[in-house]
Structure 1
Amino acid sequence: MRLRLLSLAALALSACSPEPATAVRDCETCPVMVELPTGKFLMGTAEADRLIDPRTGKPAKNDGPQHEVTVQSFAIGKHEVTVGEYRAFVDATHHQSVGGCMAFGTDKYFTISTDVDWDEPGFAQSADSPVGCVSFFDAQAYTDWLSETTGKYYRLPTEAEWEYAARAGATTPYHWGDDPALACEYANVRSAGADAISKRQAESDSADGFPCDDGVKQSAPVGSYRPNDFGLFDMQGNAWEWVADCIHKDYNGAPTDGSAWLDDTPCQFGVIRSGSFLNRVERSSTTVRAGRPRSGKATNMGFRIARGGDRGPPRSFGAVVPQRVVEQPRQQSGAIAADDEGARLFADNCAACHVEEYVFKGLYGKDQASLVRTIRDGGNNVMSMPAFSDRLSPQEIEALATYLRNKHDW
């Protein structure tokens, strides 16, 4: 144990900036960037240090094994990208997002609607609020525009860069230490009266209460809370943040050089970090990670940008950025008609469903019972899939599972 503590201390020192980080801004409408030094850190959570998710009574399993990573110097946004900064991009490019946005607080806990968007999320926000309802592709289009505008290489941070920046030398679950009661000083996390995400979230709120309560129920203007030791704000809570990586079940096989962990072909599922104003502090730690369809959007999902670093050349500026990649249906003997009840259910719920495509095909099992169980109870410890029993009847869940099995000829 003593050797492990000494090792943690050494890594913490190697990640610390000896002087306050330098803040720069490349244009009038550009986000303020903070330049971070090269360093090493332990990424992920050790088995003995896992936090219990109050909703499930179990720890997450996708943030291990803990491993040492070396990160080269780069710059990262001092704040999450704001509504005002994103509006400047939309005004300049006439960028149009695709698809509906997940909103919360309804009698079915969430809806996927085109009535809410980054500019109208369904609650009050200011130009300084973190922008929400943006997909991975929207965020990527924004960084491409910044690159074209400034001549600098802007991009999304890699997952390793993000965690390095969030920790700011800390080895504790939160960048401020291990006391969740201090969350209201440093992070906009879930508090009493926040919109319900799911039935078990509501049950957890009632049973466990909150370690602190700042009274903020939606997003807060960026910089409203205390920064971490790198001078970065809202690295925990406020809005989930897209990173560059594809999602993987855990860190087995993850790169150790700070680069993005991508697949051989373009992935459909990406990674979001930091938690949000709708997540309890335990779900907003420096190591919490969740998978989401890259085309997906939610009112509590935004992004933070990075600049520079040896991560390959930027894409051709002005290139068409794909907004959504749709898998073409295959001709299978077991395929069912597009107007089938299961297909309709999938279309209505697909922005939150993670059992369907590509590397996650069959992740939760391929038999009817396994799919029914996962759709009913959720897959939060792997892909943050909600429990659909909150919004679908047992008959609808059976129909959805049958559709998925027939679609993939399982």
Structure 2
Amino acid sequence: MRRLVGIAWPRSRAVAFLAVACALAAPEPSLALDGAGSVQSINDCPAEHCPDMVVIPASPPGLEIGSPEGEPERLPSEKLHPVSIRSFAMSKYEVRTAEYMACVTANACRPPEWLEPGSEHNIETGRGVTYKSMADYIKGDNQPIVGVSWDDANTYADWLSKKTGHHYRLPSEAEWEYAARAGGKTPYWWGNDPKNNGEVMACCRGCGSDRDGVGAFPVDSFKPNAFGIFNVHGNVWEWVADYYCDDYETSPKDGSARQSKSCGKPDAIEGLRVFRGGSCFYEPRQMRAAMRLRNWPAFRNQTLGFRIARDLSP
């Protein structure tokens, strides 16, 4: 997996996004339940490219995150540990290209690596072929944004917070895993295998989809989990808020993000950030709910995007 960069949004598309750029004064949020009445949805500015959010209930007593010792492909850093998580909102989908580009058009976010002016990876003017070969799986408004760093994801969250008056942020590792599992304890929310009784459930290198190893699906593809969240396994990796430490079990017990980059070990590499969930270009074992990867906060890549979280009123 190679390192990525970004480029400039073509003029015609920039004009289109300018038409939907959000004003700082946001309308009242939209709240809804699904047909079964079980998923509460939030959109703080539905006409202005704000992400659809779902309310994640507070964790039940005795919740543990990580993986059990007998789970195939388990890593030492996945030791089970208890957490208690307050209710919060998580984006129903990975952040879309259209949603992120609204921030770029507002001059609040920098372009993704594949649109960065002067970059070799610019799909319009650069020499690089990686993004160009995947253009159809990247440029679409309903595709997950990729080629953005941890820093970029936080800039988007800050912009969204100012725009709506609500606190948007990256989810913590614990929140992400709890939301991804949706009450389950298996490697994937649907069970132990990449497919569910032969049904393709995700995009990964070995999931059985027609885009395995090729490019991501639109964000609303495949089935959602019990919390109403799509594509927590596969499709694109998702940045989370925490600093990375091998000892996952030493993270905060309240489910908040690890704020200290010190891992308490003399040989630890400090300052790395975490991403979760796997991608179309990685194997099924790497999209397990407990699987963790890390890189520097400035890292960008064609397989890496993010999902957003939002605090709820007390």
**Matches of 1:251 and 1:134 in 2, distance apart?**
25
Deviation at 1:261, TM superposition (A): 1.1
DSSP-derived class of the 1:244 partner? strand
Greater per-residue helix proportion: 1
Unpaired runs of 5+ residues, structure 2, are 1-35, 125-129, 263-269
Deviation at 1:117, TM superposition (A): 5.6
**TM-score normalised to structure 2 length:** 0.75
Is it true that 1:31 corresponds to 2:34 in the alignment?
Answer: no
Deviation at 1:214, TM superposition (A): 1.5
Q: Deviations over 1:173-226 (max 9, x none)?
A: 110011223386321112xxxxxxxxxxxxxxxxxxx4x522112111011111
**Matches of 1:285 and 1:76 in 2, distance apart?**
19
Is the 1:186–1:227 contact (alpha carbons within 8 Å) kept by the matching residues of 2? no
**Matches of 1:272 and 1:308 in 2, distance apart?**
20
- Number of positions where the alignment pairs a residue of Structure 1 with one of Structure 2: 253
Matches within 5 A, 1:255-404: 255-263=252-260, 268-308=271-311
Alignment partner of 1:169 out of 183, 186, 201 = 183
1:239 partner amino acid = V
Is the 2:200–2:208 contact (alpha carbons within 8 Å) kept by the matching residues of 1? no
How many percent identity over aligned positions? 37
DSSP-derived class of the 1:160 partner? helix
Deviation at 1:94, TM superposition (A): 5.2
Matches within 5 A, 1:106-255: 114-116=119-121, 121-122=131-132, 123=134, 124-125=136-137, 126-182=140-196, 185-190=200-205, 210=206, 212-216=207-211, 217-255=214-252
**Matches of 2:122 and 2:293 in 1, distance apart?**
22
RMSD over aligned Cα atoms: 2.5
Partner of 1:196 in structure 2?
A: none
Is the 1:240–1:303 contact (alpha carbons within 8 Å) kept by the matching residues of 2? yes
Partner of 1:46 in structure 2?
A: 68
**Matches of 2:148 and 2:305 in 1, distance apart?**
6
**Matches of 1:214 and 1:299 in 2, distance apart?**
19
Deviation at 1:68, TM superposition (A): 1.5
1:189 partner amino acid = C
2:291 partner amino acid = V
Partner of 2:84 in structure 1?
A: 70
Structure number with the bigger relative contact order (C-alpha 8 A, sep ≥ 6) is 2
Runs of 4+ in 1 over 4 A off after TM superposition: 117-120
**Matches of 1:246 and 1:310 in 2, distance apart?**
26
**TM-score normalised to structure 1 length:** 0.58
